[in-house]
Amino acid sequence: MRGRRAGMVLVLLVAVGAGGCDSGTGAGTPDLRGYYTQQLTWRTCGAQGLTDSALRDLGEAANSATLAAMECARLTVPRDYARPAAGDLKLALSRFRARSGGARIGSLVPNFGGPGTPGIDQLGAEIDSTFAGLRASFDLIGMDPRGWGQSEPVTCTGSGDAAGATSGTGAGASAGLGAGAAADDPLAQLQRVAADRTARARGCQVRSGALLPYVGTVDSARDLDVLRAALGDRKLNFLGFSYGSRLGAVYAHQFPSLVGRMSLDGIIDPSLDYAGTAVSLVQAEEQGVGNFLADCLRRGPADCPFSGDQGEARGQLQQAFDAVAAKPVESTEGTLDRGVFQSALSRAVWDTGSWPDLRAALTALIRDQDAGPLAKLGGATPPAGASSASWVAPAVADPPGDNASAIYTAVECRDTAGRYSPPQAVAATTEFLAASSLFGPGAESSLLDCSGWPVRGDDTWRDVSAKGAPPVLMVGTRTDPATPYPGMARMATATGVGVVLTYAGQGHIAYRLSDCVRRAEDAFLTSGTLPKPGTVCPAE
């Protein structure tokens, strides 16, 4: 890499030891010097460094001059940091150099969350929009963490088909219980869910078992430090969204003296266990629906199917939901059942831009008895015979179809010691229903995601104390369905170095929702300027 010198490498190795994780120079510790001194070989890959699915999504934009400048490389890391002799992993990287004429600071590594959102494809998709301002100061580095995307992807099915992939919490997970099966015993339903998850876990072990013990956040954070050294950077500059906030906080815990400018947006709460997190997500979704209903009523009967005050509107929505849950409705867009209804509502709390579509879909259901728009909005499977055209260009092959779901489960089950039985899930039903009568039904099935998982987990990541690290900017959205707002303050307290910025709106990842937030985060990353304590960006 340009500008790299052997003397710098030695300084970096000393810094690694000071940061809390030894590079292997001491007696009795693994020797990691070969990883820290590696030279990255960058090649121009252009749009062909993206997967087929990313190119299809981008369409003509994939031929832009910006993507033509995209470079690719592979980073070598140990599969097991405690036993480097056990073998290596090759992690996929991309790079967009800082724009010429700018005052280059160094490299900036974003993580887009999930776990399961490939960094290379996502950076390629957003380089001209979301990150245009940061390219004046940084080489932007895309990275697919171990087990994701192009970096030895974890799979449980081994096919290009995502059928049978189930993971996650909240409304999306509830579909596994079988909508409309009210007469069935709840324990029997959850036993079937556990059996399904266990069968899938066996597939994961068969196809990806050698990697599953090593995909946790603690290992991925160590990969970030190897990347920092290979890039020739003295400190890591990092922008973490959603799950990326967990990854960044763990890095700060492991390597506090090597943290550069770090901004975390959509903060995961380190104080909650697996079950507590699941309940908090249901509560946040309920809050978001309340905001949607308040906005709907303000628009009047011409644009809103509900009437009365907010409590009455909530009751009308509940009545429509209960009817569908008891008797799913067929439509030209597929079946509208409980899980699809919940999924459609979830869009309202994830993205306020979908509120017009949700209002129209609920109007069609309630006033016209047409379930099609809401089924489509909720992602129902279209009737047989429906097809869509696809554009295919030569590119990196897509990872297995279940990779996003599989790596989500693999990371979450590695990052928690929690393992729940069907009776325990049944016992949790009351708490989920108390959190929301819309999103609570079926959410208890999310507690069974790690059923039969072949690798034990632990809660090591939850220790995020970062004494000695510089201030880290932490951004929270008041109504965030995926990383509820209270988690930001708890993460700031737990690390001891958080400086908080609030977005008063609704949705997930304020950097994408608010110009005010984006300006504040960009200012911190490029100049080190932190917002004043208590700063709140208004809803947009």
Residue 397 pLDDT level (bands cut at 50, 70, 90): confident
The answer to whether residues 373 and 202 touch, using CB atoms and an 8 Å cutoff, is no
pLDDT digits (tens, 9 = 90+) for 85-118: 999 999 999 999 998 766 889 999 999 999 999 9
Given this model, what pLDDT does residue 92 score?
97
DSSP state at residue 396 = B
Q: Is the pLDDT of residue 178 over 50?
A: no
Rounded mean pLDDT, 520-533 = 96
* Residue 163: exposure state from Cβ atoms within 10 A (0-12, 13-18, ≥19): exposed
CA distance 438 to 170: 10
Split at pLDDT 50, 70, 90, the class of 12 is: very low
How high is the pLDDT of residue 392? Answer: 37
Tell me whether strands 329-331 and 334-336 are parallel, antiparallel or unpaired: antiparallel
pLDDT of residue 478: 96
Give every CB contact of residue 12 below 8 A, 6+ residues apart in sequence.
36, 228, 229, 234
The string over 476-489, giving b where at least 16 C-beta atoms fall within 10 Å of a residue's C-beta and e elsewhere, is bbbbbbbbbbbbbb
User: 3-state secondary structure string, 15-84?
Assistant: HHHHHCCCCCCCCCCCCCHHHHCCCCCCEECHHHHCEHHHHHHHHHHHHCHHHHCCEEEEEEEECCCCCH
10-24, 44-58, 396-410, 440-454: the lowest-pLDDT one = 10-24
Beta-ladder partners of 335: 330
Q: Which residue has the higher pLDDT, 459 or 29?
A: 459
pLDDT at 342 over 70: yes
Total number of residues shown for the chain = 540
Element (H, E) at 318: helix 310-326
pLDDT tier, 395 (very low <50, low <70, confident <90, very high otherwise):
low
pLDDT band, very low/low/confident/very high, at 383 (cuts 50, 70, 90): confident
Percent of the chain with pLDDT over 70: 87
pLDDT in tens, 151-176: 999 999 865 444 444 433 333 334 44
Q: State the pLDDT confidence band at 130, using cuts at 50, 70 and 90.
A: very high
Q: What is the pLDDT of residues 424-438, one digit of tens each?
A: 999 999 999 999 999
Q: Among the listed ranges 98-102, 110-114, 199-203, 322-326, which one has the minimum average pLDDT value?
A: 98-102
Once rounded to an integer, what is the mean pLDDT over residues 180-193? Answer: 79
Dihedral in degrees, nearest 10, Cα atoms 115, 121, 123, 126: -110
Mean pLDDT of 341-369: 94
Predicted TM-score of the model (pTM): 0.89
Tens-digit pLDDT profile for residues 205-215: 999 999 999 99
SS3 content of the chain, % helix, strand, coil (to 5): 45, 15, 40
Chain segment 69-84, per-residue pLDDT in tens? 999 999 999 999 999 9
- Beta strands 88-96 and 106-111: pairing type? unpaired
Average pLDDT over residues 298-308: 96
Q: Give mean pLDDT, residues 500-518.
A: 96
How far is CA 447 from its chain centroid?
A: 18
- Give per-residue pLDDT as tens, 482-494: 999 999 999 999 9
Per the model's pLDDT, the better-predicted residue between 391 and 364 turns out to be 364
For residue 259, count CB atoms less than 10 angstroms from its CB and return exposed for 0-12, middle for 13-18, buried for 19 or more: buried
Look up residue 42 and give its amino acid: W
What pLDDT was estimated at residue 288?
95
Q: What per-residue confidence (pLDDT) applies to 23? A: 54
Given this model, what pLDDT does residue 87 score?
A: 95
pLDDT of residue 8: 31
| 371-395 mean pLDDT | 69
**Residue 204 confidence (pLDDT) above 50:** yes
- Please give the mean pLDDT across all residues of the chain: 89
Confidence of residue 391 (pLDDT cuts 50, 70, 90): very low
